Structure formats: structure tokens, C-alpha cells
Amino acid sequence: MKKALTIAGSDSGGGAGIQADLKTFAAHGVFGMSVITAITAQNTLGVLAVQDISREIIAKQIEAIFEDMGADAVKIGMVSQPDTIRTIAAGLRKYAPPLVVVDPVMISKSGYHLLQPEAEAVLVQELLPLATVVTPNIPEAEAILHRSIVTLADMEAAARDIQALGPKNVLLKGGHRTEDATDILFDGQQIVRLEAPRVATKNTHGTGCTLSSAIAANLARGMSVPEAVKAAKRYITVAIEHALPIGRGVGPTHHFYELYQKAGLSEE
């Protein structure tokens, strides 16, 4: 069985972060492992508090995984502190996993700043050059490039400029646009527009985590980057279409909808 490692924060509400990543890995038939970078007190209404894990424990978690089991792909999510980012980058350089997906998580759906401002430049310098794929949404791309992104042409230009910072491939997600939900994939040479209808639901908690984890799982299973991204986009679209009305705020997506259907299980 292929193995995927998520390096990210824990979401006590179960819809995003480590919990969403492991659910996504399982849904794709990949064995999931985790390195927890922070613990969040979080639910569908927002983030109440965050406690970062020490760099020593983060380094030991990385060592524990790679000195024994290894990983076919790594997904990196919430990394809020500069020291955390440097520790992860050092671990990746030491163990050299073949495939790395970086989801530059900066702000939660509720508006909570999960990445400290002083850490943004460190993330760009340390992690982006190690990425097989980086998956910013529009606000994250704006923070990386320090400029506004509105149109599809803006997105294409931004994808090119982010790719120039070191990642092999850039998937710039268009979910924050007021029009369609078209994403832009750039591999250093070719721009590909990935179109999908916008799903009318408020329950989209953890979509970025889920998409990036699906990409990592697909890469671990041997797909090319375009194949992995397209399959992941189909997966998250179905998960959003059947999102779960759990909680009083922004509910989670349904990570196991297709598996439940095949098993004849009710969504209730």
C-alpha cells in the first residue's frame, strides 16, 4: 500500500487539517501518517485558539516517520511559525521524499490568521522551492505576491510568478472569485484551465486541505501531476456537492460520499 504523510495542524472539529487529510488519504486507498504542527480549538463557527507544537517535537515526528516507514508523498498544511517552517524544510531536505504538495494555509474560512505575517516570507523561501505542487487560493496568492488578483488573466500571471519562486507546479484555486470556480494549473510551460460549476452550499470547511491531500494521494499512487490534480478536483467537487450540514456554521465536506454509496450506507 502506498503511504502519504500530512504535516499540518489538528482541527478539533474534524473538517479540516490533519483530520481532513487522513480521511482523504483513506478515501483514496492510501495509508495516512501525520506530523502535527499545531492544535486548534475549532468548530464550524470558527477558530477559538491555537497552540503551536515545539520544533523539537515536530522534528522528532518527522524522524519517526522517515526512519521507519517512509512516505511516497508528503502534504504540508498549516505551519504558523517561522521555526516550524524551517524545521519542516530541514526534514524534507534530509529525507528527500519524492513528492511534496504544499498548501500555504494562511487564513481560515472564519477569517482567523493561521500563518503569522512574519512567517509568510519564510514559507515562500523555505517550502515553495521543495514543492512538487503548491496549491494557493486567491487570497494566499495575493499574500505571496503582494498584489490583487481578480480576473482569469490575473490568475494565469500569478501562477507563472509563483512558479518562478521555485515550485515545479502551481495550482491556483479560483473558489474565491465572484464568478465561476475555475482553477489554473501551470507546470512551468503550459497553462491549463480547470473548470467546474460553483456548488451552492455554505458547507465548504476544509476544502483546501482536502484538495491538496487528494492531490498528494493521487501522486503517491503514481498519477502524473495533471492527472492527480484533475482527479482531486473531481473528488472535492463531489465532496462539496454532498457536504454535511453539521454544526451551526460552515459545515464539512463529505470525504467518503462515493464509498458510502458503493457500500449502500445512508448519509444520515
206 a catalytic residue:
yes
Whether 207 is a known active-site residue: answer yes
Q: Which of 3, 23, 109, 173 is catalytic?
A: 173
- The grid coordinates listed for 229 are 490534480
Q: How many CB atoms lie within 10 A of CB 65?
A: 21
Across-strand partners of 55?
Answer: none
Which is catalytic among the residues 24, 132, 204, 210? 204
**Is 247 annotated as catalytic?**
no
- Active-site residue (options: 44, 209, 210, 253): 209
Q: Which of 13, 174, 175, 208 is catalytic?
A: 208
Which one of 206, 210, 230, 233 is the catalytic residue? 206
Please pick, among 207, 210, 233, 251, the residue that the annotation labels catalytic.
Answer: 207
CA distance 11 to 210: 13
Q: Is 204 a catalytic residue?
A: yes
* β strands within 112-216, DSSP E: 133-134, 169-172, 183-186, 191-194
Q: Got the DSSP string for 154-183?
A: HHHHHHHHHHTTS-SEEEEB-TTSSS---E
DSSP H or E segment with residue 49: strand 46-52
With contact defined as beta carbons under 8 Å apart, do 37 and 79 qualify? yes
Q: Which residues are catalytic?
A: 173, 204, 206-209
